[in-house]
Structure 1
Amino acid sequence: MADDQDQESKTEEPTEKKVRDAEERGNTPSSKEAPIFASIAATLIGSVFLIRGSIGDATQFLSAFLSDPAGFDISTSRNTSTLLVFAAMQAAVFVGPLLLLFMVFGLSASFLQHPPQLALDRIKPQFSRISPAAGWKRIFGLQGFMEFAKSLAKFIAIGTVTWLILKSDKNTVVTAMLQDPSTIPEMILSIAIRLLSAACVATIAIVTVDLVWSRKSWRRSLRMTKQEIKDEHKQSEGDPILKARRLSLARDRARNRMMAAVPRATLIVANPTHYAIALRYVQEEGGAPLVLAKGTDLIALKIREIAEANDIPVIEDRVLARSLHAAVQIDQMIPPEFYKVVAELLCMVYARKVA
């Protein structure tokens, strides 16, 4: 009862992560009717292209063996072994291609539904697989009802087409006893091909419905509650509180590194209280002036405080301070449009040092 209520609460479609995790565990949609259809199709193709061509050789061998068994020397164990090897080779020539065809069609029916993968979770012992309650639920639940409906549909469809074909060939089957026995295998093969063709056509619709149903049922089993989606979002994106705390710590560390670089500045360009940009220019280092730090309000005041403590010149220029703060980033050189005005300030600073 609790399981039913829990399933009813899962009203949200599964997320991509939930689908991906299910596929990695080997929980993938699979139609049980696809391999059955593949085996019927393989039998039909084998009957048309393989059995029809090789049945003559097999019939000739069996006829020779049964009509004149004394013609085969089995007086010694070596001759007996040779006869058995020859018979086995004849059987392998007849059966081998059919087995290969069945293997190819069977693997294709599985691989076309989902790519092969190694999923150890699928082979782990689980109590639910041997639990009578779980088995009862599978048999008499929605899944069991669908399996019964598919089996009933297959039985009715294949039974109907078989009855119709045999009814139309009734006269051929009855008169077969009056014909040459050598023609009977070809007649049986022709009827079998017609039956297999009809069975393939009849099961195509069942396979199509089962493919659609299996995928819908699989996605329904992966549905999530709203709380599960929230929890998954927290796991993937991180708890908002912890995330904000991490961002705050990262900003604090970046600010501390920036403040530690201020004593290396050549000058500070400042708006009296709201903006401050620390620039470094040493001719031997090459390149344009470098931005070591920048900030507004309290950070700007802190930059000025550190500069004054280290005897770094602070030049107040409202327009330049605002423009530099908007245009430059920390640890980057100033753009070319600021070269002239900053060069004038540097000349002023160097002139003060000389004086």
Structure 2
Amino acid sequence: MSESEDADSKTEEPTEKKIGDALERGQTAVSKEVSTFAGFLGLFLCLSFIYRASTGRLSGTLALLLENAGTVRISTGEDLARFFAYVGGEALSFLGPFLGLIAGLGIAASFVQGAPRVAFDRITPDLGRISPIKGWKRLFGVGGLVELGKSTAKIAILTGSLAFSLIVDRETLVNAMRTDPRLAPELILTILLHLTSVVCIVAGLLAGADWAWTRFKWRRDLRMSRHELKEEIKQAEGGGLVKARMRSLAQSRARKRMMNAVPRATLVIANPTHYAIALRYVREEGGAPLVLAKGKDLIALKIRQVAEENQIPVFEKKELVRAMYEFVEVDRMIPPEFFRPIAELIHFLSSRGGVQGRNGSMRMP
């Protein structure tokens, strides 16, 4: 199957699982233009709020160097080192905020587009990445041509914007050649502000368009064919079968514990084979009668069988057991509305001379 045919067959939107797997592999929708815009924005903010306050200091340093250029002694290596240390310190104090802000905004731009993840697939060695044939396809394929068109359009737009800005500021640039050198930093700062403001606007528009395109292309590349969608559904159903099996095992264990508790019952009420509820009541234990087990059909028959084997009285009370079945829960006391009929049964057992067995439950003589 060719690549075009394979792409045409992927008509279904990606599922949440497909998107999650892609993110785990490091396949995220990241636009380089957003990071570029963050860099230009950092430059503009520095020029607007930070460098304007630092321009006076830089102007003073430049004036000091120009006025005392003839007195600067550079006769030894130590003199040269001190000179470069001084100039480098001034340059670092001027450029440091810019570099820090650019780095911070670049990191923020990455976080905005997607939380960072450790994707070992992205750093695992792959010979296909250095294959000349695959590299040629990447360069001259559809994706490579799209990137080339985007880069060309970006360069053309930025170049045109800068040219327009320079034409507007041409008088300022001409007058700069006749300006006092001590005023040069302030003049340069003004020109750079104009240029970066234009570049920021253009870069912001490009970043928005590229981010939208990147997200669209990312979701398009994650589309699934009907066959892939059916296979994922089958796998999900397989997971559901496993969960159902686990629930079945849990219910089986619960039934086993319930049957083991039936010999401790005081009485069992049944209907006569469809429903059965085993109850325990011992005055010394306090509280209302406790439900030890309940069940329908085969489970009800099993409860009756265990009760008869342990000589526990079984009362066939059709209306009562039907009414109680939906409202009582295992290992909990019966609701108050059933106190009276159950108390009558317990009183009947006591009046017949029932005795307590070894486990404390009422036994028939």
User: Structures share a fold, TM > 0.5?
Assistant: yes
Q: Residue 195 of structure 1: SS of its match in structure 2?
A: helix
Superposed displacement of residue 344, structure 1:
0.9
Counterpart amino acid of residue 296 in structure 1 = K
Distance in 2 (CA, whole Å) between partners of 1:241 and 1:45 is: 58
The superposition leaves residues 54-89 of structure 1 with CA deviations (integer Å, 9 ceiling, x where unpaired) of 345434434443554341233455444433322222
- Answer yes or no: is 1:34 the counterpart of 2:34: yes
Distance in 1 (CA, whole Å) between partners of 2:161 and 2:244 is: 69
Unaligned runs of 5+ in 1: none
Distance in 1 (CA, whole Å) between partners of 2:188 and 2:198 is: 15
Contact 2:63-2:181 within 8 A present in 1 as well: no
Unaligned runs of 5+ in 2: 355-364
Partner of 1:138: 138
Partner of 1:90: 90
Distance 1:312 1:51, change over 3 A: closer
Distance in 2 (CA, whole Å) between partners of 1:273 and 1:52 is: 93
Partner of 2:359: none
Distance 1:309 1:32, change over 3 A: same
Counterpart amino acid of residue 122 in structure 2 = R
Superposed displacement of residue 109, structure 1:
2.0
Counterpart amino acid of residue 116 in structure 2 = P
Distance in 1 (CA, whole Å) between partners of 2:184 and 2:273 is: 108
Shift >6 Å, 4+ stretches? none
Partner of 1:317: 317
Q: What are the residue-to-residue correspondences of 1:245-324 with 2, within 5 Å?
A: 245-324=245-324
Partner of 1:210: 210
Distance 1:63 1:299, change over 3 A: closer
Distance 1:84 1:234, change over 3 A: same
Distance 1:353 1:38, change over 3 A: same
Contact 2:10-2:223 within 8 A present in 1 as well: yes
The superposition leaves residues 136-172 of structure 1 with CA deviations (integer Å, 9 ceiling, x where unpaired) of 3333334323322322222222222223233334455
The superposition leaves residues 229-251 of structure 1 with CA deviations (integer Å, 9 ceiling, x where unpaired) of 44445555644555554444444
Q: Residue 111 of structure 1: SS of its match in structure 2?
A: helix
Partner of 1:332: 332
Distance 1:3 1:256, change over 3 A: farther
- Cα RMSD of the aligned pairs, angstroms, is 2.9
Superposed displacement of residue 336, structure 1:
0.9
Partner of 1:198: 198
Counterpart amino acid of residue 158 in structure 1 = L
Superposed displacement of residue 211, structure 1:
0.9
Q: Residue 269 of structure 1: SS of its match in structure 2?
A: strand
TM-score when scaled to structure 1? Answer: 0.86
After the TM superposition, which of the residue ranges 184-193 and 147-156 deviates more from structure 2? 184-193
Distance in 1 (CA, whole Å) between partners of 2:228 and 2:64 is: 73
TM-score when scaled to structure 2? Answer: 0.84
Distance in 2 (CA, whole Å) between partners of 1:217 and 1:295 is: 57
